[in-house]
Structure 1
Amino acid sequence: MARPPEAASSPYGVPDPVRTDAAAIARALDVDPDHGLSAAEAARRLAEVGPNELRSAERNPLWRRILVQLADPLTLLLLAAVVISVIAWILEGAHGLPIDAIVILVIILVNVALSIIQEARAEDAVAALSVMTRTRSTVLRDAQKITVPSAELVPGDILVLAEGDEVGADGRLLSANSLRIAEASLTGESEAVEKRPDTLRGPGSIPLGDRADMVYKGTAVNRGTGRAIVTATGMSTEMGAIATMLDRTVQDATPLQNEVNHIGKLLGRIVVVIAIVVMITVALIQGLDTAADFVQVLLLGVSLAVAAVPEGLPAVLSVVLALGVQRMAKRNAVVKKLSSVETLGSASAICTDKTGTLTTNQMTIQRVLTASGAVEIEGVGYAPVGRVIGAGGDPPVGDLQREAQLALAAGALANDAQLTEDAGSWTIQGDPTEAAFLVAARKLEGTGEFVSRFDRVGEVPFSSERKMMSTADRNSDGAVVIFSKGAPDVLLERCTHVQVGASVVPLDAAHRDRALADVDNLSQAAYRTLGVAYRIAPELKADGDAVEIDDAHERDLVYVGVVGIIDPPRPEVRPAIAEAHAAGIRVIMITGDHPVTAARIARDLGIISGGEEALPGARLDRMDDAELREAARAYSVFARVAPEHKLRIVDALQDDGYIVAMTGDGVNDAPALKSADIGIAMGITGTEVTKEAANMVLADDNFATIVEAVREGRVIFDNIRKFLRYLLYSNMGEVLTVFFGIVFAGALGLTGATEGELVLPLLATQILWINLVTDSGPALAMGVDPEIDDVMERAPRGPHDRAIDGGMWIGIVVTGLVISIVTLLTMDVFLPGGLVPGGTDTLDVARTAGFTTLVFAALITAFTARSAESSAARGLFSNPWLWGAVTLAVVLQVAVVSLPPLQAAFGTATLPFGHWIVCLGMASVVLWVEEARKLFVRVRARRRELARVAAG
């Protein structure tokens, strides 16, 4: 956790620059504010405190990353299988190559390579912070203004700030002239913050966004000028505190990583038990008379062990996740880590910043209130597109139209911002609030023409003391008009008249009360308010292009009205939030903005309703972890929060069992993004810091894309369950076939098929053929299976829910049992004796028929495994890759049964056509049993739903 607010300190004994007088800070730092440091002293201090840079986190070397991948339980299990396969190959005589071991080893290496390649692009957020701050700053040294690299700033330097500058270090203001600084990337505050040098007083902690006498590294001067004395550099800055949090934040394993680890450990235990039980059973029932028998049993145990482990699982997982990453990239969601794809699908809470994420980050005038009524202005952002409507939804006319036009024109003229278009994209320069007037004026017909008749000839700039600005503008007739805008209460004090239609009437008490009520209504609705006024100034005669005016000319003004300005919600966000709620996902707003504004936006978007309010960060400071967990359950909007608050909220939700996705675009979001189960950065407005700290980047900054990504993540997890179900159906069928084939060999006629030899229902090479060849293709194809069941109709998967749950294990055992029964019965059909009389074939033919039946049954389960409840006929032809993989597997099976070289390698024999029909018919039993089970499940679920509706 970062240091507490206001605990920043420099090496020169300035414990609390927020509450310390600027002159006292200058004395403590031994600097004359009018002369600055000397070049020699600056160099000495730089050597003492080090460069004004952030420390980068060290990246793990390649060898360590490889070891981490190899330490995965499933990979360790496969490595053990390689060792055992090599030992068995040696005991068997070391003829040829150890193909089994080589294939498994290749799978391991491919999986490790895929993971290393993906992690080569892993986050290095602190390094990105360092890159972000490689700027230059203007300082006062030896009484001269010079520009130096920001990395060379030291405590005691006098920063000279001007519009457009990036603040190079944390500093205490010495002076400010209309200084406004954009701190959204650090605090989340959507509006530029007005700065003033007055020392802050009062009890308690002062939130970062309210420290008006401080400037901070990495923020930008939006307007005005000022000077500040540097109090902190490098890791001692507020941005350094964030870097420290990033450095200390540990990312937990994703739910998918935990699940794969669990599966690996579970299968490892099962493998050992299976191998031992089968070998003991063979020894007890059939005996081991020769060394060859012993080697064959050992090889069988190894083969079963390998069969029980889906060797292709790590590689298939990596490929399926990589394909999911590609699909999500096409939907503007760029995923940096493969495992994060599934994690997003498991998300049960999305914590989101407000500014630039839920909102456009473009200040917009939405309402204009004048003496004749109210005007609504539609459209969001800086593109001047949107209707202007009055009462009843029609365009304003008459007096209301004239007043609205004059209000917007006055605000557009008393304005220093610029609005420009480039290839259909609208951008601004200057204060976003001022730019909002330029946009709104273009939306109201005739206003632009009115504005174009004036040329500026004088100005009284905005200042924090006056809270207003005015311009003197000359119209085409040569008359000079003063246009003013500012805080409504301040402006009204300078007004003596009010505009009513085309007339100017005295501003009496009734009109004044009406104007103040309008301001109050807008403020309660979380709008930022600005009043506009004007007066014709006959005493001013333009001398050429300029006139001299000051605040004495801001008198006897004509009040026109007040506008309501807000950073509006993105239009696509509300339906996206509604879909998230329907899918059982909480949406929580965490912002540095004002609580009233945050609550208003949250209500507009459907995050909260009714009388729910935002919880301010100041209250979070007084909460312990248990109280914060209760607050995280009770509140869905947190406002005026600091970076450490965001981190604590995310941690509290995780402690409460949520899988948390955290979105953000500013530097202040980076630690929480890294701590969350999945961090989501905005690609357009997000800082490089945020993008590096995140697991996923939204290329379109669209919150709705997150919901689409959640759907994609859920589909991917469904597909993972599908191919796990398929692989384990097949593997369980193999294991039970061998086990029951040995136990019931006499009843099935196996022992009578040959004399004096160890009889096995399947050979080791046949088991490996099924496991390594026919399984992999369909499993991979199932990884790109389209959505069969609506994944957004169910609640999120819990953090402790297993990918292979109890119900799935039952299905695996039952299906494996059915596969083993039909496989062994097929062999019995063709063998003499046994349960089914009449067979006349040799053991090789019968074993080949059973082998083929098992392969066909496993391939059929590729279609039944696509859904736990829906019929295999649903979406039967929606996945051409699956059909292609199954067809290829069938062709390969025909080849291994029919081609002499493959027959010799895998111990198979040619099957007559009638035998193929029997094999296919026996294999289809798996389909009918599974369809009957699913029908029972659907009927039972339907009855429960009808009973619930009837009871409710």
Structure 2
Amino acid sequence: MLRYAPPDRLNISGSLQDGLDSAQIKIRQQQYGDNRIVEIPPTGWRDILRNTLRDPMLWFLLGTSALFLAVGELTEAIILLVALIPFLGMDAYLHRRTQASIAGLSDCLTAQTTVIRDGQPQRIAAAELVPGDLVLLGTGESCPADGLIEYAEDVLCDESLLTGEAFPVRKLAVAALPHQEHTAYIASASWLFAGTRLLKGNVRLRIVFTGVETLYGEIVHSAMLGTHTRTPLQSAVSNLVAILLAAAAVICLGLAWVRWEQGHGLLDALLSAVTLAVAALPEEFPVVLTFFLGVGVYRLAKRQALVRRAVVVENIGRVSCICSDKTGTLTEGRLQLSHRYPAQGFSEERLLEIAAMASRHETSDPVDLAILNSLETPLHDAVVESFPFTEDRKCEAAIIRSSDALLAVLKGAPEIVLAHCKLDGTALTGWQQRIDELAGSGHKVIACAWQTLDGASWHGGEPDRDFIFAGALAFEDPVREGVPGAVLLCRDAQIRIIMITGDHPATARAVAREIGLGGATPQVVTADEIQTQLVRGESDVLRNIDVIARAVPAQKLLLVQTLQNSGEIVAATGDGINDVPALQAADIGIAMGQRGTRSAREVAAIVLLDDNFHSIVQAIAEGRQLFTNLQLSFQYLLMIHLPLVLTAALIPLAGYPMLYLPIHIVWLELVIHPTALLVFQEIAGNKTLVYQPPTKQLRFFSRWQWFAMGLAGLTLTVIVTLAYIRSLGAGYDVDHARAMALVTLIAASVGITAVLSRMHSSAAWYIVSLTIGLSCLLVQIPALAGFLHLAPLHVDDWLLAIASGMIAAALTLLGRVNGLRIFRERQTQSQQHSD
């Protein structure tokens, strides 16, 4: 894989071996800034307190405590103030949790490094490095920035932090630092990246990228800032919260007035209203959404998909069509010499030597590199004159002095080279057939020829006739590992893939067959043909197309817009400036991180760090799982909040004593908050993509899900109400009744959590176990129960509470069973589509 190295960063006056001098360092520090890859915002107690002050629960506790203090209820005021301790503790933990994945990344970076400046090695802070610095690294040291290896001594590197691969990677020194634009692409084997670690050997490294421009820095920067963009789902949740707040305010005022009219006194009326307001306050919804989006940005980055806008976390899972480049995305983006076909009288070695003599030794041309890398021993023949390759000539030639002989060598497009050679009709036809077969199987084919020149009669110029045909070389761009499997996953999930390439249709068809795109007979058309039909309004022509060949980037925009107009959610890949309009128009624009231009990366919603199609499919799977997890969290919140709010309002309105005191709301929030945030975000999905019908409108829940949640909420409301009234009894044992209602609601919370999470995460086990254990302690120990205005429950009470939890679990399972039925129907549709 090639990575671009800007020559201007390596354009250093003076001796390269002496490193930068003081004047150069000062100029580059002003130009590029510090090498600060990870700048974690401060997370001390002041910052935690500042975040907590934004939470209405804090003001509820303080305001209610002040209210109790004003009427002389000192014990109640103190209890509510003490309740701030676990509340602030939970806030601090969740705040730390959202920062943990980012802050943990800084531990992988080195704080100091050895650098050569002014001709002397010195130890400096890694943050002071600038592009052009010369760094010395030894075994066990971490790389402080991205750079090119000038010297390598038996080097093995651990790149698992960036790639996820545990296998060591061998590194080699670069042949020469780039000084011109066309020589600025360097193989990844000659790069060291920030955050990676040397397992073996010694390296002299020339720094190219620092700070957020490094691959590592881009991941961290995106994870820190990617959730700042307001997404459509965030806007929808904000609108929902505003509506619920308005409704809660009206109900609270009505409840306060009713309680006052019922003769319960001012304190009861105010407490009833405030308690209901906090119970109805839907602050968890925006908190959970923001938290999940942050988790999504980080998880997608670990899948090699760098998220630039948080909306991607919502949309990536809904993709129904992928318009993908071929070279570098579906394939490795590098040519390798795979077949040698020498003409009669030539050996494979001699054919390769002729091709090498006609190649440029200082070049970034992939064909020349593949030929030169295949040589067992380098050639040392003198080049007298060369005639470079151009698009018009489609061949290149050179005049070589070899062992006192003057040779003319030629390589290039087979039809051009054959036209320069002396071949009889039978031989010419045979070679043309072989070359056509190779091209049809996805190979790039060049032909080679040579002739001896008479030094006395040759006076310069390029020979154009009487060449002796030496044979043909076939090159292939290998398909990336994992791509066929990723294509199969997309096919099973009915996610369309359209390969868009500038290659010949025969080459594109061969690659499509190799990766399984379109089966045994992929449908291939040229871009000009499809464009003509689309301009005529024939948008249906794209329905069964697998490959669009001979395409230019400018034609991608029309293709993307046509697919969108037909109802597809389109992800499009690109790497050049000409790809920018298509990347902007696509629902998910995906730029190549290694070979993409800066313009493409800046407009894209996702930057693919490894340029691999398999990473796109992984990102779609991750996005779908994150959305599913968010749905589960919201289901839990709705199913538990509905009975909480309804019972908090209906029981006082019916004239009974208040069901929930402020301390009870605090207790319930300490159960609900961590459950919604931590249990569901850890649920991992399977490796299978299931068919999901494309829809432009994001439907968070189906009608059946809304019905199932409403049924469960209303049923639990009836159960909690009946449990309260039953336990109240003729003697109006309010403490016993409150304990029964609270335990019933908490048992329902446990049942709902167990079914929705299927106990597949460690957080589910911890939180469910802690919820049950604390409930038993707080209710059954008389001293603790007395502080909470509760009374210990009897055995039959606990049995009824357990039964209530089982009913809640059964109602939740009812919704899940229907969801599984839909899941199986989609699997069947996928299988039928595959067949």
Shift of 1:270: 4.8
Q: Any idea what SS the aligned residue of 1:322 has?
A: helix
2:350 paired residue among 386, 406, 422: 406
Q: Which residue of 2 aligns with 1:221?
A: none
Q: Which residue of 1 aligns with 2:657?
A: 759
Shift of 1:773: 1.2
Which letter does structure 2 place at the counterpart of 1:469? E
Which letter does structure 2 place at the counterpart of 1:712? E
Q: Which residue of 2 aligns with 1:319?
A: 291
Which letter does structure 1 place at the counterpart of 2:672? D
Q: Which residue of 2 aligns with 1:846?
A: 737
The alignment status of 1:354 with 2:251, answered yes or no, reads no
Which letter does structure 2 place at the counterpart of 1:802? R
C-alpha distance 268-551 of structure 1, shift in aligned 2 (>3 A): same
* Residues 328, 334 of structure 1: 8 Å contact kept: yes
Q: Which residue of 1 aligns with 2:677?
A: 780
Q: Any idea what SS the aligned residue of 2:610 has?
A: coil
Q: Which shifted more, 463-472 or 940-949? A: 940-949
Shift of 1:682: 2.3
Q: Distance in 1 between matches of 2:823 and 2:287?
A: 36
* Residues 460, 549 of structure 1: 8 Å contact kept: no
2:361 paired residue among 417, 420, 423: 417
Q: Which residue of 2 aligns with 1:806?
A: 703
Q: Distance in 2 between matches of 1:727 and 1:331?
A: 29
C-alpha distance 494-805 of structure 1, shift in aligned 2 (>3 A): closer
Q: Which shifted more, 352-361 or 593-602? A: 593-602
* Residues 472, 480 of structure 1: 8 Å contact kept: yes
Q: Any idea what SS the aligned residue of 2:279 has?
A: helix
Shift of 1:761: 2.9
* Residues 279, 645 of structure 2: 8 Å contact kept: yes
Shift of 1:861: 0.9
* Residues 352, 587 of structure 1: 8 Å contact kept: yes
Shift of 1:708: 1.4
Shift of 1:731: 0.4
Q: Distance in 2 between matches of 1:809 and 1:885?
A: 26
* Residues 524, 549 of structure 2: 8 Å contact kept: no
The alignment status of 1:259 with 2:233, answered yes or no, reads yes
The alignment status of 1:662 with 2:634, answered yes or no, reads no
Q: Which residue of 1 aligns with 2:468?
A: 558
1:105-504 alignment, distance < 5 Å:
257-266=231-240, 268-270=242-244, 272-273=246-247, 276=250, 280=254, 288-290=261-263, 293=265, 296-297=268-269, 299-369=271-341, 403-417=347-361, 429-439=363-373, 441-442=374-375, 448=376, 452=379, 455-462=381-388, 464=390, 467-473=394-400, 479-496=405-422
The alignment status of 1:887 with 2:780, answered yes or no, reads no
* Residues 525, 600 of structure 1: 8 Å contact kept: yes
Shift of 1:714: 1.2
C-alpha distance 824-654 of structure 1, shift in aligned 2 (>3 A): same
Which letter does structure 2 place at the counterpart of 1:462? P
The alignment status of 1:857 with 2:783, answered yes or no, reads no
* Residues 684, 699 of structure 1: 8 Å contact kept: yes
The alignment status of 1:514 with 2:430, answered yes or no, reads yes
Which letter does structure 1 place at the counterpart of 2:396? M
Q: Distance in 1 between matches of 2:763 and 2:705?
A: 25
Shift of 1:776: 1.3
Shift of 1:338: 3.9
* Residues 615, 639 of structure 1: 8 Å contact kept: yes
Number of residue pairs the alignment of both structures matches: 659
C-alpha distance 885-938 of structure 1, shift in aligned 2 (>3 A): closer
Superposed CA deviations along residues 421-446 of structure 1, whole A, max 9, x for unmatched, are xxxxxxxx33222223224x44xxxx
* Residues 276, 301 of structure 1: 8 Å contact kept: no
When normalised by structure 1's length, the TM-score is 0.59
1:664-679 alignment, distance < 5 Å:
664-679=574-589
Q: Distance in 1 between matches of 2:271 and 2:712?
A: 26
Which letter does structure 2 place at the counterpart of 1:288? E
* Residues 394, 416 of structure 2: 8 Å contact kept: yes
**Percent of pairs with identical residues:** 27
* Residues 533, 561 of structure 1: 8 Å contact kept: yes
Larger Rg: 1
Q: Distance in 2 between matches of 1:527 and 1:306?
A: 68
Q: Distance in 1 between matches of 2:640 and 2:426?
A: 85
Q: Distance in 2 between matches of 1:692 and 1:941?
A: 37
C-alpha distance 306-587 of structure 1, shift in aligned 2 (>3 A): farther
Q: Distance in 1 between matches of 2:780 and 2:604?
A: 54
Q: Distance in 1 between matches of 2:770 and 2:468?
A: 84
Can you give the 5+ residue segments of structure 2 that lack an aligned partner in the other structure? 1-50, 72-76, 103-130, 132-176, 186-226
Q: Which residue of 1 aligns with 2:527?
A: 616
C-alpha distance 629-305 of structure 1, shift in aligned 2 (>3 A): farther
Q: Distance in 1 between matches of 2:408 and 2:598?
A: 44
C-alpha distance 336-645 of structure 1, shift in aligned 2 (>3 A): same
How big is the alpha-carbon RMSD for the aligned residues of Structure 1 and Structure 2?
A: 4.9
C-alpha distance 328-788 of structure 1, shift in aligned 2 (>3 A): closer
C-alpha distance 788-661 of structure 1, shift in aligned 2 (>3 A): closer
C-alpha distance 166-598 of structure 1, shift in aligned 2 (>3 A): farther
Which letter does structure 1 place at the counterpart of 2:433? A
Q: Distance in 2 between matches of 1:618 and 1:80?
A: 61
* Residues 348, 584 of structure 1: 8 Å contact kept: yes
Q: Distance in 1 between matches of 2:98 and 2:56?
A: 21
Shift of 1:622: 8.5
Shift of 1:884: 1.3
Q: Which residue of 2 aligns with 1:377?
A: none
Q: Distance in 1 between matches of 2:447 and 2:540?
A: 42
* Residues 535, 558 of structure 1: 8 Å contact kept: yes
Shift of 1:638: 4.1
1:730-745 alignment, distance < 5 Å:
730-739=640-649, 741-742=651-652
Q: Any idea what SS the aligned residue of 2:451 has?
A: strand
* Residues 823, 850 of structure 1: 8 Å contact kept: yes
* Residues 310, 728 of structure 1: 8 Å contact kept: no
Superposed CA deviations along residues 634-682 of structure 1, whole A, max 9, x for unmatched, are 5444455555543343344334333222222223333433443333232
Superposed CA deviations along residues 228-265 of structure 1, whole A, max 9, x for unmatched, are xxxxxxxxxxxxxxxxxxxxxxxxx9999333433443
Q: Any idea what SS the aligned residue of 1:775 has?
A: helix
Shift of 1:851: 1.0
* Residues 651, 657 of structure 2: 8 Å contact kept: no
The alignment status of 1:579 with 2:523, answered yes or no, reads no
Q: Distance in 1 between matches of 2:319 and 2:821?
A: 30
Q: Which residue of 1 aligns with 2:607?
A: 697
Q: Distance in 2 between matches of 1:570 and 1:280?
A: 66
Superposed CA deviations along residues 109-143 of structure 1, whole A, max 9, x for unmatched, are x99x989x99xxxxxxxxxxxxxxx9xxxxxxxxx
Shift of 1:617: 5.3
C-alpha distance 813-549 of structure 1, shift in aligned 2 (>3 A): farther
Q: Which residue of 2 aligns with 1:729?
A: 639
C-alpha distance 303-417 of structure 1, shift in aligned 2 (>3 A): farther
Shift of 1:715: 1.2
Q: Any idea what SS the aligned residue of 1:924 has?
A: helix
Q: Any idea what SS the aligned residue of 1:724 has?
A: helix
Q: Distance in 2 between matches of 1:935 and 1:466?
A: 67
